[in-house]
Amino acid sequence: MPLIRNEIQTWIFDLDNTLYPASSDLFPQISARMGQFIGRRFDLDPEAARALQKQLFRRHGTTLRGLMVEHGVDPHEFMDYVHDIDLAALAPALALDAALAALPGRKLIHTNGSVAHAERVLAWLGLAAHFEGVFDIVAAEFVPKPEPAGYAALLRRYGIEPARAAMVEDMAVNLKPAAELGMLTLWVRTANDWAVEGSVESWVHHHTEDLAGWLAAPAG
């Protein structure tokens, strides 16, 4: 599927490990605080808390979803806790700022995190002005990507025509529903082995390790 940028009306971006480098310590901080939350809630040592965290993630797609379904955890309490992180490791995204400014079409965020977390990170990176809105896990009724329902709700909320939209993600499997809806897809390749699943499938139309460079390159 060739990319013709002037035909893309809406660009949909994941947030974590997509708009900032996965090599930063940001997501490890979030993961660590998930473990701390679980440890305190269930009186578990760090090793047992980490094991439960992984089990919930594997069974439900996100740790949050697992905690809600299996243990009735308040999602807002969980998100407030795990997103209370230090952003100092993130530098302003100057190259990405310039690439987004030059990219025609509206831009949206679709994240399994919260609006508050997305807005804080975007402001820190210097990217907030580029985005029309954030579609978060609350808007998806706490059903995480890659469940198709959230993608359909995103399209309805913003009146998106899938055939004129592109989705950008670090987790390749999250691109499957987007491609099935008719969107163009871009996988941002990282060193995270858990993000590779599905990366060789036909639903990944393009891939890059340099999002800003890819967006700024001539369409082809």
CA distance 208 to 219: 14
pLDDT tens-place string over residues 119-144: 999 999 999 999 999 999 999 999 89
- The pLDDT score that the predictor gives to residue 27 is 83
Look at residues 127, 141, 38, 63 and name the one whose alpha carbon lies nearest to residue 90: 127
**Cβ atoms of residues 192 and 22 within 8 Å:** yes
Helix, strand, coil tally for the chain in percent (to 5): 50, 10, 40
Rg (CA), the chain: 17
Sheet with 106-110, edge to edge strand ranges:
131-135, 106-110, 10-13, 165-169, 184-188, 206-208
Q: Give me the domains of the chain, ranges plus CATH numbers.
A: 5-22+92-216 (3.40.50.1000), 26-82 (1.10.150.450)
Token representation of residue 146: 């890659």
- Which residue has tokens 């978060």? 136
Averages of pLDDT over runs of 10 residues in the chain (220 residues) are 72 96 87 96 96 93 93 96 93 96 96 95 97 97 93 97 96 96 95 87 94 85
CA distance 209 to 212: 9
Burial of 156 (0-12, 13-18, 19+ CB in 10 A): exposed
- The pLDDT score that the predictor gives to residue 112 is 93
pLDDT tens-place string over residues 5-35: 668 999 999 999 999 998 887 888 999 999 9
The count of residues in the chain is: 220
pTM score of the predicted model: 0.92
